[in-house]
Structure 1
Amino acid sequence: MTGDFEVAPLEMVEIWKHAKIQRRRLWADEDRVDLLSLQAATDVWTIDGMRAFQLRFVADEAMSGETGLTVIEGDMIVVRLPAGMRHKLDLGLGSARLTLARELGYATLHPARLADRVPSDRLERSWIYGSGSSRWQARFFAPALLINDATAWSTGNVRDVSIAAGIDLDAAQQYLAELCGDLLRTDRGARIQTIADEVRMALPARLARYLQPQEAHANDAIRNSDAEAEIGETRSSPERSAATHDIDRTELNRFQIRAIAKEQRRRLGWNGREGVDPLELADCTEIWTMDGVAPFRLEFSPGEMDQTEYVNGTLVARISDRTRQAALFGDGRARIAIARRIAGAALAHHRRKANFQVEGRYPNMSEASLQAGRNQFEADIFASALMIEDEIALQLRSVEQVSLGAGIDHTVLLHYFHLLFQEGRLKPD
């Protein structure tokens, strides 16, 4: 690795803005930019103005093991890459593309400090963290330069973004998640907030609304408090007293759980849709549950845990910012994590009591542990049923294809496909 050096701190949205200026100047609106076109460039834009520029491929042994090095020679910025890197760039390897993009980040962001950029074996070891690190800034600059945000926002799928930009999947996901995370910050000055607002202006409405302070919205799809579908013995009357909230509900079987999830799906207006967005629940102020319609709020928090709670008469599903960021860009595990929180609300996991007659069968497990395990199982059944359109699943007949279409983690589908087999709706080939 090339040595790091300390620079003036830059927030991600600032780096984003500089990267997009550079991108527009070099490649306009292309999806997969041609980095080798930099060989023809004689000057390049930097934050200090236009500077003479040259991209050179040198003998591998002359690089002292470095993957890239950006230096100043007289008045010219020179990016040096090992000769073997050119072949990798010809092949379109994501790691090589990111390497050259990072070097261009050093040139763009630190033209006055390039004399400090020397190979790591000649740099005294120092520990520089966060936004004041030249390496950290260049690392974020690279995917911001290579990714066409219009494509990223329109697809909403990390894999498609990585393919379009010609970079590794992890780099695309990290960039999108970090950018969204930075947009969620509120402790910023007016200048930085202005740049953040510029970023939001580039987002389609379906993403931009999740990156603004949350507001309460009514959802007409679930306003009707009259539960129209009877679901066996699983439904409780909304007129029951608060004392009956503690009734035992451990007798729900998987078919009843699925029926509750399908009623929830219908009330949300999701029937007939293959890929639904669980983040749409941020617009809901009420949600249907086994006890009837209840006040509801989907909240996002900086913590690490997702949970469902009953707070002052309102069902509150708390989703971590990390889960939200991942869900924004199609991560199946994150989408299922949100659906599980809806399961917790719909199935009243927050106030259910265990009523197991363990009688020595589980001598080392408490009733609370048993109930937690059962809640997890129920949540998986509910989440898959909520996110999957059955008719499409029956046509596709493939766990992998159904998980891709529904945009969810394939592991939760195993329980669900077993239900379809048990019902006789899905036959083995």
Structure 2
Amino acid sequence: MPVPEPALTPPEGAPHHPPRVPRPDPVPRLTEPACALPAPGDTEAFWTDVRRRGTPLVGPDPLGADDHLAVTFLWRGTPGTRAVRVLPNKLGDPRDPDGNRMAHVPGTDVWHWTLRLRHDWRGTYDLTVDDGEGPSRRADPFNSRAVPHRWGGKPVPYAELPAAPAATDWQPRSGVARGSVIEHRVAGRRVWLYEPPVPAAELPVLVLLDGEHWQPRLGLNHLLDNLIADGRIPPLAAVLPEAVDEPTRWAELSCRPAYVAFLADELLPWAAGRLPLTDDPARTVVAGQSLGGLTAAYAAVAAPHRFGNALVQSGSFWWPVGPDAEWLTGVIGETPRLPVRFRLSFGEQEWVSLPAARRLRDTLAAVGYHDSSYREFNGGHDYLCWRTELADGLVELLGR
């Protein structure tokens, strides 16, 4: 890959954290729960009903709107329980941490916390409970739905309301031809290579960052098998490099020319030695989330001869913190339009990322990227949402 011009060389020394931005709107809490709470005394009947229904409980909007619902999170405490907090993804206010504290029904073991949410919301959430020895993260015993944690550990429970997009494309289907996935090592890191079940003389290719989460934990191969079987995308190859660990991820996924060179000049040629990959940038997608989304966009700008499509989810376009904030947006605004398509999506609850995301959207339009797209979904900074956004983005960019 040609050495990037000075304008594409990013600033150094930025802090490894997002900007400290206060939440612009209050968390949409309700004082009344979505269910009748028990009186002091025996709560067994209440918890039997909760176990049958599953948590969180969902009820009508107390304000009467057809497109909103009351969503109540619950915890069954013990005599020693001192506090319970529920933290739905990006639905907390760092200025008011006690705003996510559950209320206790006196004389019972019932703790509760309720939000008013639009009926297409979905999100993961954490529960932290203090039973007298300090707060610790707990599973939700009344919710069997969970997704893998990003860096290992216990799965994360989630909730989704009736109008949320379905994620059925991620489930293995009987009767669908299955591609193969093999784990390799390239330049000292793990890489997963997906080969489709349908042979082709030349395969479009997806480079998806944070591969150690997307393949071993989330099962990307099932999604690709299903989309190919449905004819929504052509048979394609997928190359998934791992991020290694958090320090390495910050070091490499912050607009680094050396990392783009690794993707374009080392990883893709390596994969092309094993599968018949296209070298057409218009049929090549680089995709990522958060810092990976920032890097996907940077790779398309730095190497448009190789990456003609950037599938960007919740990209960290605020980067870096400090005087060079939103650096990549400035580069794009000062560069003539490149032969690249951007597919951008962000969660409506991502109050830190949204202002920079919208400025990037407007910059792309001003420069002339009229075949690119931008959308906002009702969720947060969340793999639960990114799963379906990834599927829709692949169909948009590579669908027949």
Which structure ranks higher in relative contact order (CA pairs < 8 Å, sequence separation ≥ 6)? 2
Q: Between Structure 1 and Structure 2, which shows a larger proportion of helix residues?
A: 1
TM-score (norm 2): 0.29
Please tell me whether Structure 1 or Structure 2 has the larger radius of gyration of its CA atoms. Answer: 1
